[in-house]
């Protein structure tokens, strides 16, 4: 029998992977300790339950909860494709969810940014579970205050760079604003998987879906590393990068995407990058089947932790 249950509260050490019954217990992300104490923490995983910026089907506010639940089936052992357990190298906590006051929508970007600021002040790397994709913008704003303009590695079916005459809270334009505001440097950023027509790149390197399918994973990984180099980078994964066959539970699904194996292979290829922040967004469990979208999101988030750990020494 497992030595412990409810490890979100009872674990003796913040490090390591221990088993507990998958079907029960407190559902923190990967059974990590729930805590607001940032002392000695390397990565804070937190939910951003916001979906008022969506342009199609709402429901991504429930994405963090769904990914936590799905992560229970991943928490009993290390991710198989890595020669180390990222949770041996990283002190990871589940910080809970950010507080979103939906009755004051115009203040939500500032609400998000202000709640992330203490993490960054403590030197903690943020891993956000969305929420719709707009949540990336306030996170980028907060990170840019510490690191300057960031490189962006963006996996998505949509470029999210639609130009606007004035700022709007919209999940289709936030990377346009990020570039204009100078929180992202498009000349060292890359977007992959796009399969909705948009002629304007705004300076980003764009690998549309047919190009990525044709050239393949290895060439895409090489292009990412060449584009980003050692600059501080932010990794943003919209779950609709996956084809709807592999991720039906999302607000704006687009056919012609990628399978889960391809997505995980691409994420693993980011090892060695100077990642300073990351998110997995647009999981909308109301449209999911058998939690396959939530499990994909949780798996990608676990792999992102391994990417961060790839630059850290063994303890």
Residue 238 among known ligand-binding residues: yes
Would you say 72 and 21 are in contact if contact means Cβ atoms under 8 Å apart? no
Which of 223, 134, 234 lies closest to 183 in space, CA to CA?
234
pLDDT tens digits, 250-285: 999 999 999 999 999 999 999 999 999 999 999 999
Rounded CA-CA distance 201/191 in Å is: 10
pLDDT at residue 144 above 80?
A: yes
Which of 162, 142, 158 lies closest to 150 in space, CA to CA?
142
Rounded CA-CA distance 191/200 in Å is: 13
| Residue 63 counted as domain residue | yes
Residue 133 among known ligand-binding residues: yes
Rounded CA-CA distance 70/163 in Å is: 36
Residue 158 among known ligand-binding residues: yes
Residue 101 among known ligand-binding residues: no
pLDDT at residue 58 above 90?
A: yes
| Residue 315 counted as domain residue | no
pLDDT tens digits, 204-240: 999 999 999 999 999 999 999 999 999 999 999 999 9
| Residue 2 counted as domain residue | no
Lowest-confidence pick of 24-38, 126-140, 161-175: 161-175
Rounded CA-CA distance 80/58 in Å is: 34
Would you say 34 and 94 are in contact if contact means Cβ atoms under 8 Å apart? yes
Give me the number of domains the chain comprises: 1
pLDDT tens digits, 297-312: 999 999 999 999 999 9
pLDDT at residue 2 above 90?
A: no
Residue 42 among known ligand-binding residues: no
| Residue 110 counted as domain residue | yes
| Residue 251 counted as domain residue | yes
| Residue 21 counted as domain residue | no
> Which residues neighbour 12 within 8 Å (Cβ) at sequence distance 6 or greater?
none
| Residue 208 counted as domain residue | yes
What is the pLDDT confidence band of residue 315, given thresholds at 50, 70 and 90?
confident
Q: What whole-number percentage of the chain has pLDDT above 70?
A: 99
pTM of the complete model:
0.96
pLDDT value, residue 1: 46
The CATH number given to whatever domain includes residue 87 is 3.40.800.10
pLDDT at residue 146 above 60?
A: yes
Q: Which domain holds residue 126?
A: 7-13+27-309
Residue 177 among known ligand-binding residues: no
| Residue 256 counted as domain residue | yes
């Amino acid at each position: 029998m497992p030595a412990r249950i409810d490890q979100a509260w009872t674990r003796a050490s913040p490090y390591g992977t221990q088993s507990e019954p998958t079907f029960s217990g407190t559902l923190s992300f990967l059974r990590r300790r729930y805590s607001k104490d940032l002392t000695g923490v390397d990565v804070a995983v937190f939910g951003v339950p916001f979906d008022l910026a969506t342009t199609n089907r709402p429901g991504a506010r429930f994405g963090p909860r769904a990914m936590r639940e799905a992560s229970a089936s991943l928490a009993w052992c290390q991710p198989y494709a890595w020669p180390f357990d990222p949770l041996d190298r990283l002190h990871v906590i589940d910080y809970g969810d950010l507080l979103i006051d939906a009755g004051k929508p115009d203040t939500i970007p500032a609400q998000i940014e202000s709640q992330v600021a203490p993490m960054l002040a403590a030197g903690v790397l943020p891993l956000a579970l969305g929420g719709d994709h707009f949540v990336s913008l306030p996170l980028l704003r907060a990170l840019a205050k510490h690191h300057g303009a960031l490189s962006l590695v963006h996996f998505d079916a949509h470029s999210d760079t639609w130009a606007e005459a004035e700022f709007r809270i919209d999940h289709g334009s936030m990377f346009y604003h990020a570039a204009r505001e100078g929180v992202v440097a498009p000349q060292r950023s890359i977007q992959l998987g796009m399969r909705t027509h948009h002629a304007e790149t705004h300076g980003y390197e764009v690998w549309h879906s047919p190009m990525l399918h044709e050239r393949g994973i290895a060439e895409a990984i090489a292009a990412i590393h060449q584009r980003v180099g050692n600059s501080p980078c932010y990794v943003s994964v919209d779950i609709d990068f996956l084809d709807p066959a592999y991720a039906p539970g999302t607000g704006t699904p687009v056919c012609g995407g990628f399978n889960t194996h391809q997505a995980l292979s691409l994420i693993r290829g980011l090892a060695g990058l100077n990642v300073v922040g990351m998110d997995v967004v647009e999981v909308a469990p109301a449209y999911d089947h058998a939690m396959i979208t939530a499990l994909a999101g949780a798996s990608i988030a676990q792999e992102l932790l391994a990417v961060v750990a790839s630059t850290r020494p063994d303890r």
